[in-house]
Amino acid sequence: MPHFHYHDEEERRTWQDPVVILADIGLGEGIVVIDVGCGQGFFALPAARRVGNSGRVFGIDIDPEAVAMMMERAGSEGLQNIEGVVGTGEETVICEGCADVVFFGIDLHDFSDPKKVLANARRMMKTSGRLVDLDWKKEETPFGPPLHIRFSEEEAAELIEGAGFSVIEVRNIPPWFYRITAVSQ
């Protein structure tokens, strides 16, 4: 799976603040989050801080080094509520109906079979849970993945609905992103 690598995390925070994004999707104490395609924990680590000891974060990524780095960082911060899982989004189902939020942080376009990944997300989500897809708009940006692999808001919403979800919100997230929130049908 080709993966687009950003410059460094400090720079990335200048155009994508994970703390603001996670607060905006309503993460709070006691929430169970699954971050599919977590990388080195750009979203998973701040999510673990937000959900507290009564919450839990599972980060899934295909790259064992990235998962190891995320867990090392969690350990150095004393975060005990985060678990890294090495695997593909297509093949990995951590639980049945355990997640309050299944989160895709600018990576749904990266999967070889996004339909299967979304079907797995639905299996892992509580019936009362939410799917959150943050992704690049399908327009020219100063950097980011090639346009031809990006999903427009309409394409992403169609994929998500095709996997048995109802889209409840599509929101513009400046400067270059959108966020789709969906619930199980």
pLDDT computed for residue 8 by the predictor: 72
- Determine what percent of the chain is predicted with pLDDT higher than 90: 85
Q: Is 177 inside any structural domain? A: yes
Structural domain containing residue 62: 17-184
In this prediction, residue 7 carries a pLDDT of 53
Residue 2 located in a structural domain: no
pLDDT at position 2, please? 38
Low pLDDT (below 70) residues in the chain: 1-7
Count of domains observed in the chain: 1
d(CA 62, CA 129): 24
Determine, yes or no, domain membership for 126: yes
Percent helix, strand, coil in the chain, to 5, is 35, 30, 40
Q: What's the CA angle centered on 167, arms 52 and 12, to 5 degrees? A: 50
Task: Tell me, yes or no, whether 9 lies in a domain.
Answer: no
Buried-state track 34-71, b at ≥16 Cβ within 10 A, e below 16: bbbbbbbbbbbbbbbbbbeeebbbbbbbbbeebbeebb
Measured CA to CA, the distance from residue 135 to residue 140 in angstroms comes to: 14
Amino acid at 98: C
For the entire predicted model, the pTM comes to 0.93
Find the CATH number of the domain harbouring 99: 3.40.50.150
Residue pLDDT, tens place only, 63-110: 999 999 999 999 999 999 999 999 999 999 999 999 999 999 999 999
3 within some domain:
no
On whether residue 170 sits in a domain, the answer given is yes
Residue 59 within any structural domain of the chain: yes
Residue at 120 is within a domain: yes
